[in-house]
Homo-oligomer: A and B are copies of this chain.
Amino acid sequence: MQPKIKDVARLAGVSVTTVSRVLNGEKYVKDDLKQKVTLAIQELGYAPSHIARSLVRNKTNLIGVIVPDITSSFYATILSSIEEAASENDYNLLVCNISENIDKEHKYLNVFQEMRVEGIIIMHEKINEDIRNLIQKMKIPVIFSSVKPMGQEFVSVIVDDYKAAYDATAYLIGLGHEAIGFLGGDMRDITSGQNRYSGYRNALTDSGIKIIHEHIRFGDYKVKSGYEQMKELLRVKQPPTAVFAVSDDMAVGAMNCIRDNGLRVPEDISVMGFDGSQLTELTRPTLTSMEQPIHEMGKVTMKVLLGQVENGDVPTSDIILEHRLVARESCKARSTST
């Protein structure tokens, strides 16, 4: 059993109030008493109970985070910067990895409410009506990071997916490609998925390039689906000379598939990723990617959320961060041999 403030008070020969004052750095305590108290704390190895403090202060300094898949380098990186920002501001993180499991999300939102977290960060956009209602009923500040659920009720910290996808596609067009494949993510209830798709389409049509439906495939953002969908793309009579994948994971899957089928990246097919995850530097060839400012994204998410938690600054619209195309080896100008 841990020592309590009473034990410290007794040992130091003062009242619990005085101990509390020392603990909270208040001024009106004489130096000699402060000394005694500090010593007693040391001796007992006393640490004030955060539980009791939370109860009386009505403040937990807890932030709940829901991650769809902590195993993904993209989410792990955001999470790590969120954690950093939280730590700097003396907040602690209750982390929930839902593994794409909606039931778990519901359960955890309840836990968050019971734990009286002061704010919630969600990096998962496939929220259904049930979750949507639950969130609104809880009356706890919520912010979405790197994803945007359908509708306007919630605020997200994101890049301009439409423009980013447009720019990525335009880059490939600029390299002389016309048959540009698209490896999209899930489109159901996913704003980002739809915006990236629109950006891709409009970049093509704005350049007077016809959209080829066989060159468009949808998966789930993961390596495996990138591989599977690329396989389909290779099956059509006129495969694309470049492919834009909406995540780096999918792009890696696509690169592997291309390679496993005896073709080369970028000589035969250029591959463009999206996210700017650590994978971009690990692959050979290295992966050209439309990068999100992942680290900044975590920081900004936390900053905006804490602004709301501590000062009641409710953000009125999404916070849009800058995307940036980082050219590496996986994309090259289309060979003029055709």
Residues of A within 8 A of B (CB): 2, 45, 47-52, 54-55, 60, 69-71, 73, 76-77, 79-80, 83-84, 87, 92-97, 99, 104, 107, 110-111, 113-116, 137-139, 223, 252, 256, 259-260, 278-279, 282-284
The CA-CA distance from A111 to B90 in the complex, in Å, is 10
Query: With A76-B70, A92-B115, A116-B51 in contact, is A45–B83 under 8 Å at CB?
Result: no
Q: Would A259 and B282 count as touching, CB distance under 8 A?
A: no
Closest to A90 in B: B111
Distance from A102 Cβ to chain B, minimum over Cβ atoms (Å)? 14
Query: With A83-B97, A252-B282, A256-B282 in contact, is A55–B51 under 8 Å at CB?
Result: yes
Most buried by B among A50, A54, A77, A139: A50
| Residue numbers in B under 8 Å from A107 (CB-CB) | 87
Q: Would A223 and B84 count as touching, CB distance under 8 A?
A: no
Q: Which single member of B71, B104, B114 contacts A48 (CB below 8 Å)?
A: B114
Q: Would B45 and A116 count as touching, CB distance under 8 A?
A: no
The CA-CA distance from A49 to B107 in the complex, in Å, is 15
Interface of A is mostly: helix
Q: Would A80 and B73 count as touching, CB distance under 8 A?
A: no
Q: Would B83 and A116 count as touching, CB distance under 8 A?
A: no
Q: Would A2 and B79 count as touching, CB distance under 8 A?
A: no
| Residue numbers in B under 8 Å from A69 (CB-CB) | 80
Q: Which single member of B60, B73, B94 contacts A92 (CB below 8 Å)?
A: B94
| Residue numbers in B under 8 Å from A282 (CB-CB) | 223, 252, 256, 279, 282-283
Distance from A241 Cβ to chain B, minimum over Cβ atoms (Å)? 21
Q: Would B71 and A73 count as touching, CB distance under 8 A?
A: yes
| Residue numbers in B under 8 Å from A97 (CB-CB) | 79-80, 83-84
Distance from A216 Cβ to chain B, minimum over Cβ atoms (Å)? 25
Q: What 8 additional pairs, Cβ within 8 angstroms, besides A45-B138, A47-B114, A259-B284?
A: A47-B113, A51-B51, A71-B77, A71-B80, A76-B76, A80-B97, A87-B96, A87-B104
The CA-CA distance from A84 to B84 in the complex, in Å, is 23
Q: Would B60 and A83 count as touching, CB distance under 8 A?
A: no
Q: Would B116 and A99 count as touching, CB distance under 8 A?
A: no
Q: Would B94 and A94 count as touching, CB distance under 8 A?
A: yes
| Residue numbers in B under 8 Å from A52 (CB-CB) | 55
Q: Which single member of B50, B83, B113, B259 contacts A70 (CB below 8 Å)?
A: B83
Closest to A223 in B: B282
The CA-CA distance from A46 to B108 in the complex, in Å, is 15
Q: Would A50 and B278 count as touching, CB distance under 8 A?
A: no
Closest to A285 in B: B259
| Residue numbers in B under 8 Å from A93 (CB-CB) | 94-95
Distance from A275 Cβ to chain B, minimum over Cβ atoms (Å)? 14
